[in-house]
Amino acid sequence: MTTHLNLTASTHELRAEGLAVGYGERHVLSGLDLEIEPGTVTSIVGANASGKSTLLRTLSRLLSPAGGQVLLDGRSVHSMPSKELARVLGLLPQSPVSPDGITVADLVGRGRHPHQRMFRAWSAADDAAVAHALDATATADLADRPVDELSGGQRQRVWIAMVLAQQTDLLLLDEPTTFLDVSHQIEVLDLLADLNRDRGTTIVMVLHDLNLAARYSDRLVALEGGRVYAAGPASAVLTEQCVQDVFGLRSRIIDDPVSGGPLVVPVGRHHVAAG
């Protein structure tokens, strides 16, 4: 897809330099460099346990790196006031928790936290942001329903509405399509593409489906061995060699008849036509 930069486009630039992150003795990322251009959609791909979530959590400073730094517009995110950062950069984690019985409108309203003061007084701006987030995700009809009662696809849209209500120019999403059926996956990705195109929101997401990642992203970042194995447009990153090195999988790359981009066709041990 293409990115139409417009006046509301994000101008915030996120960059990681020489990141080294681990849990205790275990090193997950080492010497990772990454640059996220404003107004683009970036997908992070990599094998299970390759550190994709760790990278997102470090970019949004949930984790402190042992080495290197994360810079937002040249400032280290680890030295920014936490609410100030949360007004620029939003995160949808891999497994968020919805409190018992909470309604959709209430959950989406939680996204306003970084915009509110200590003894919070709700403002008209808060209501407007929530309404806008509900409309953008087509969840306005669900506003009064308890989140526990929704389908997986609806719930995921509600969580996306929650981070939209945060009104950040940068959005990090960890596996926003996992556990969704294919039509709901497309629905979520179309929604994110709309946000990127219409508001210029910079999007960084972790995706497992290489073909959808290729189609919906301006750039792919392939992680391997705690570093960036390759980064760039899907057509440059998704090579048979890359799939082999990053996922340990043999594959063929053909043209996606729908988007014209690359399409990965995995080659397993079975069901392979001779010739």
Ligand X SMILES: Nc1ncnc2c1ncn2[C@@H]1O[C@H](COP(=O)(O)OP(=O)(O)O)[C@@H](O)[C@H]1O
Which residues make up the interface to other proteins (CB under 8 A)? 8, 57, 60-62, 82-87, 90-103, 105-107, 109-111, 113-114, 116, 118-120, 122, 127-128, 130-132, 134-144, 146, 154, 163, 166, 183, 186-187, 190-191, 194-195, 198-199
Nearer to ligand X, 2 or 48 (CB): 48
**Residues at the contact surface with Mg ion, assessed by CB under 5 A:** 53
Would you count residue 53 as binding ligand X (CB under 6 A)? yes
Nearer to other proteins, 118 or 272 (CB): 118
Hey, what are 26's tokens?
A: 């275990």
Q: CB of residue 90 vs ligand X: minimum separation in angstroms?
A: 18
Would you count residue 46 as binding ligand X (CB under 6 A)? yes
Look at residue 30 and give the partner it binds from ligand X, other proteins, Mg ion, none, a contact being a CB closer than 5 to 8 Å depending on partner kind: none
H helical segments located in 138-266: 152-165, 182-199, 210-216, 234-237, 240-247
C-alpha–C-alpha distance, residues 80 and 61, integer Å: 10
Look at residue 28 and give the partner it binds from ligand X, other proteins, Mg ion, none, a contact being a CB closer than 5 to 8 Å depending on partner kind: ligand X
Look at residue 166 and give the partner it binds from ligand X, other proteins, Mg ion, none, a contact being a CB closer than 5 to 8 Å depending on partner kind: other proteins
Is 182 within 8 Å of 176 (Cβ atoms)? no
Is 50 within 8 Å of 41 (Cβ atoms)? no
Hey, what are 57's tokens?
A: 């959590």
Q: Which residues contact 48 (CB under 8 A, 6 or more apart)?
A: none
Q: Which residues contact 14 (CB under 8 A, 6 or more apart)?
A: 35, 36, 59, 70, 71, 72, 89, 170, 202, 204
The position carrying tokens 């949004």 is 60
Q: CB of residue 52 vs ligand X: minimum separation in angstroms?
A: 3
Q: In the complex, which residues of this chain contact ligand X (CB under 6 A)?
A: 23, 26, 28, 46, 48-54
